């Protein structure tokens, strides 16, 4: 069973039929973790596999599972700019202001990715977002975006509505 779980985590590539078949054989696979604490939901989220994310959630995957670095699946989706997956996770109740062990929020992770404009827009539209949170380096998501991309303009457009930086 341990071999099956390690193979499952290494080879999760968005093959929905395979995922559904394996979950039918062993529903506990939805929450297995590798040595770094990544679950199938983390891997599907950072790979942008919306259908697999949805199937895992429907199978009882833990939306709040943390890696050894404190990352939740929402952090993974946002870091790699997968807005559709991030939206799905938020709709299931993911915490928009969740902090990693390094005090990084999903918004800060998206802000550091030049290809994550839609993800930033999605996060900025969340009513409970606390965009002014600072990471362990003392930076806000706006600071990160200003340093790394043109996405800081999204923060500037949203600022009058919610005082985000």
Lowest mean pLDDT among 15-19, 48-52, 54-58: 15-19
Reported pTM: 0.89
pLDDT digits (tens, 9 = 90+) for 123-146: 999 999 999 999 999 999 999 998
Whether 44 and 14 have beta carbons less than 8 Å apart is answered as yes
Give the mean model confidence (pLDDT) for residues 19-46: 92
> Where does CATH 1.25.40.20 sit in the chain?
1-95, 96-165
- Cα–Cα dist 43/98, whole Å: 18
Per-residue exposure over 9-45, b if at least 16 CB sit within 10 Å of its own CB, e if not: beebeeeeeebbebbeeeeebbebbbeeebbbbbbbb
Q: Which CATH superfamily groups domain 1-95?
A: Ankyrin repeat-containing domain (1.25.40.20)
User: Which pLDDT score is estimated for 55?
Assistant: 95
Give the CATH class of 96-165: mainly alpha
């Amino acid at each position: 069973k341990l071999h099956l779980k390690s193979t499952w985590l290494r080879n999760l590539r968005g093959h929905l039929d395979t995922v559904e078949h394996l979950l039918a054989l062993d529903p506990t696979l939805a929450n297995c973790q590798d040595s770094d604490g990544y679950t199938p939901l983390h891997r599907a989220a950072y790979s942008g596999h919306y259908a697999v994310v949805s199937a895992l959630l429907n199978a009882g995957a833990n939306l709040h599972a943390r890696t050894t670095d404190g990352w939740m699946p929402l952090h993974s989706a946002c870091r790699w700019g997968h807005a559709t997956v991030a939206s799905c996770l938020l709709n299931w109740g993911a915490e928009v202001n969740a902090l990693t062990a390094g005090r990084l929020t999903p918004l800060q992770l998206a802000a550091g990715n030049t290809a994550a404009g839609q993800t930033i827009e999605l996060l900025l539209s969340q009513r409970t977002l606390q965009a002014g949170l600072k990471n362990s380096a003392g930076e806000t998501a706006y600071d990160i975006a200003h340093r790394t991309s043109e996405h800081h303009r999204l923060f500037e457009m949203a600022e009058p509505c919610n005082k985000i930086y």
